[in-house]
């Protein structure tokens, strides 16, 4: 019990078969051996192994009542606790260059925050407070790997899900009985769903508080191996090629899956909210879970910016374009993005305070600004990699070509200014995988919509931000001018 190793993570996945469909076939046997999942599972396992490394133990875990737990389960009570937990997040994020957006710490901190805010759930039903607290302890003690799903299928966004011709397209309550709640329908889009121990089914936060919305209003958690629960995967972007050919996709391809609930029974003790649209809509903000989740995301985003800066400068040096002003301007854009994200993170830590539940919580304003800015920033950073690489991102023969009889041509024509052809080819294949491959394109789409519709997010920022003090200053100045 407590912080698990990579081997324990893999063993648990294989011991708990779940229904996963990919490329028209159901996954049979050990999921850790399936071509679409084995590499990302290995990458996840390496993260868990860091918890068991004696040299990293105090950075990656904490001790409570004689037991070691993963640091992402720590309830931060002090500023030092918050920063300490952040160091662990940064370590994990840098391991994948920020390319794994759903490492376990993302949802671990959400459940941790929600458990401390159990009074919020009690407002729906007293037992739900006990449920969320018990679930936190259960998940922490077993160091569960969690996925989550939020969104209803995109069938007809012009009408509410309750008005669709088929009321069971979007996941909804079918019935309630003595054992629990039966759910039927589908949700989008569980990243890492097939390789997670359990799934958190959270509210979409855009529910209307009407009677017809009540059956679609809930929050609960169930094992991925629950009968009737089905994951339908998109095409894998890990094509079974070597790390040379697909250096990122062959390591960090997080699968996204449609989640189908075929009359799934959710036990009462796993229900956190039910048939309370207003409380569902406010869940993430009221419990401050979104603040802690965004704080984790900032560490990912910083790692991503650091990677792209290192990648860009390596390309500049390899082909000798650093003397051009437009190149310096482009790389400087990446530097600005990196330093901006770091400043947002530091500001959130500096202005952190205890919330009403006694949890040291990062300041929301800088994090909220950062999460609105990055969806527009990341596509531009990827565009810069494309512009710097230009035709070089198309002149990228494969590892098989390198080991063929045309190797002499590659050694001659693909060499760089101060780098041999083999290293230059590896570098530019890395840049291609970050900026142009299916894996890289998915990363751009993922960042564009990480927290939802960017326009809706900007609107929410406008509505929630306290602009009155600044308006008052302008008014005071104008009133003074008229005197």
The binding site for substrate comprises 102-106, 148, 204-205
CA distance 475 to 467: 13
Q: Which residues are annotated as a binding site?
A: 102-106, 148-150, 154-157, 191, 204-205, 453-456
Query: Alpha-carbon distance 244 to 141, whole Å?
Result: 38
461: its two tokens: 């920022």
Closest CA to 203 of 137, 121, 267, 145: 121
Residues 352, 295: Cα–Cα separation, whole Å: 11
CA 382 to chain centre: 18
CA atoms within a 13 Å half-sphere pointing along the CA-CB vector of 49: 10
Token pair recorded at residue 475? 């008014």
Nearest C-alpha neighbor of 220 from the set 258, 192, 261: 261
Four-residue CA torsion sign, 126, 130, 136, 138: negative
What is the C-alpha to C-alpha distance for residues 440 and 393, in angstroms, rounded to an integer? 13
Residues contacting residue 372 through CB under 8 Å, at least 6 positions apart: 454, 457, 458, 461
299's enclosing H/E stretch is helix 289-319
Cis-peptide, bond into residue 319, ω within 30° of zero: no
- What span, in angstroms and rounded, lies between the C-alpha atoms of 278 and 257? 27
Q: Which residues fall in the annotated binding site for FAD?
A: 148-150, 154-157, 191, 453-456
Q: 306: Cβ–Cβ under 8 A, 6 or more apart, which residues? A: 94, 97, 98, 338
Would you give the end-to-end CA distance of the chain in angstroms?
Answer: 72
Question: Residue 194 and residue 191: Cα distance in Å, rounded?
Answer: 8
Listed residue (90, 253, 264) closest to 186, CA to CA = 264
Where helices occur in 16-124 by DSSP H, the ranges are: 38-51, 57-60, 79-95, 105-116, 118-122
User: Quick check: helix, strand or coil at residue 256?
Assistant: strand
Which residue, among 199, 221, 371, has the nearest Cα to 292 in the 3D structure?
A: 371
Q: Which residues make Cβ contacts (< 8 Å) with residue 28, sequence separation at least 6?
A: none
Q: Within 10 Å of residue 211's Cβ, how many Cβ atoms?
A: 10
């Amino acid at each position: 019990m407590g912080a698990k190793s990579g081997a324990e993570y893999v063993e648990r996945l294989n011991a708990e078969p779940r229904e996963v469909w990919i490329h028209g076939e159901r996954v049979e046997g050990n999921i850790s051996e399936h071509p679409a999942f084995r590499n990302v599972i290995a990458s996840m396992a390496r993260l868990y192994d860091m918890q068991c490394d004696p040299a990293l133990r105090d950075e990656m875990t904490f001790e409570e009542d004689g037991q070691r737990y993963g640091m992402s389960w720590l309830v931060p009570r002090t500023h030092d606790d918050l920063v300490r937990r952040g160091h662990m997040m940064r370590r994990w994020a840098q391991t994948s260059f920020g390319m794994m957006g759903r490492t376990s710490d993302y949802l671990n901190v959400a459940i941790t925050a929600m458990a401390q805010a159990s009074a919020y759930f009690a407002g729906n039903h007293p037992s739900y407070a006990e449920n969320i607290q018990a679930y936190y302890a259960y998940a922490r003690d077993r160091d569960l790997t969690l996925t989550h799903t939020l969104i209803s299928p995109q069938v007809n966004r012009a009408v509410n899900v309750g008005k669709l011709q088929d009321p069971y397209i979007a996941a909804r309550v079918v019935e309630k009985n003595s054992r629990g709640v039966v759910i039927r329908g589908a949700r989008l889009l569980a990243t890492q769903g097939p390789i997670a121990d359990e799934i958190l089914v959270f509210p979409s936060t855009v529910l209307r508080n009407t009677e017809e919305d009540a059956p679609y209003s809930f929050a609960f958690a169930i094992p991925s191996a629950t009968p009737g629960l089905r994951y339908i995967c998109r095409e894998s972007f890990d094509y079974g090629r070597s790390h040379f050919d697909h250096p990122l996709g062959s390591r960090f391809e997080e699968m996204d899956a449609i989640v189908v609930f075929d009359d799934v029974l959710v036990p009462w003790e796993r229900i956190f909210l039910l048939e309370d649209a207003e409380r569902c809509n406010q869940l993430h903000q009221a419990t401050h879970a979104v603040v802690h989740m965004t704080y984790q995301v900032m560490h990912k985003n910083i790692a991503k910016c650091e990677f792209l800066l290192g990648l860009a400068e390596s390309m500049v040096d390899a082909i000798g374009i650093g003397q051009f002003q437009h190149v310096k301007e482009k790389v400087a854009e990446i530097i600005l993005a990196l330093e901006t994200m770091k400043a947002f993170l530091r500001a959130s830590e500096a202005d952190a305070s205890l919330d009403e539940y006694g949890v040291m919580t990062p300041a929301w304003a800088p994090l909220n600004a950062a999460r609105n800015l990055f969806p527009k920033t990341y596509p531009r950073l990827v565009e810069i990699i494309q512009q710097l690489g230009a035709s070089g991102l198309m002149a990228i023969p494969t590892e098989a070509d390198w080991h063929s009889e045309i190797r002499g041509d590659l050694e001659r024509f693909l060499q760089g200014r101060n780098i041999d052809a083999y290293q230059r080819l590896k570098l530019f294949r890395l840049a291609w995988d970050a900026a142009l491959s299916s894996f890289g394109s998915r990363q751009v789409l993922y960042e564009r919509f990480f927290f939802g519709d960017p326009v809706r997010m900007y609107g929410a920022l406008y509505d929630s931000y306290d602009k009155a003090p600044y308006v008052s200053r302008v008014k005071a100045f104008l009133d003074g001018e008229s005197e």
